[in-house]
Amino acid sequence: MHEMSLAESVLEIIEDSARAQDFRRVRRVVLEIGELAAVEPDAMRFCFDAVMRGTLAEGAELQIVETPGAGRCGQCGATVAMQERYGLCPDCGSAALQVTVGERMRVQDLLVE
């Protein structure tokens, strides 16, 4: 389950931010997770809670904002919605789709004290 290592990376971001901005407590973490990022939101919630125990983010609310996937067809130039990383262009049938949006996960916002 790679969500555990992702949750640990989120904690590192939080701790780095706390040192830089001098806060002591995190109340809410907003994560943006792309539909094509291969991150399971329920698994991320479970791992987040486990990793944050005993830290400045223990008990913090986790909000997940899911962003849709999209890509551009290298054959016909169409911009299309994508629910999976590999597929065919719905306009021309080409397999030359390149993901343009929806493959990243990032900390979008922190509510801190």
Residue-averaged pLDDT of the chain:
96
Q: How many CB atoms lie within 10 A of CB 61?
A: 11
Q: For the domain covering 3-112, report its CATH number.
A: 3.30.2320.80
Q: Quickly state the pLDDT bin for 87 (edges 50, 70, 90).
A: confident
> Quick one: pLDDT at residue 63?
98
Domain ranges of the chain: 3-112
Mean pLDDT across 3-26: 97
Q: Residue 19, class by beta-carbon neighbours within 10 Å (0-12 exposed, 13-18 middle, 19+ buried)?
A: exposed
What letter represents residue 26's amino acid?
Answer: V
Rounded mean pLDDT, 24-49: 97
Greater confidence (87 vs 108) lies with 108
What span, in angstroms and rounded, lies between the C-alpha atoms of 33 and 53? Answer: 22
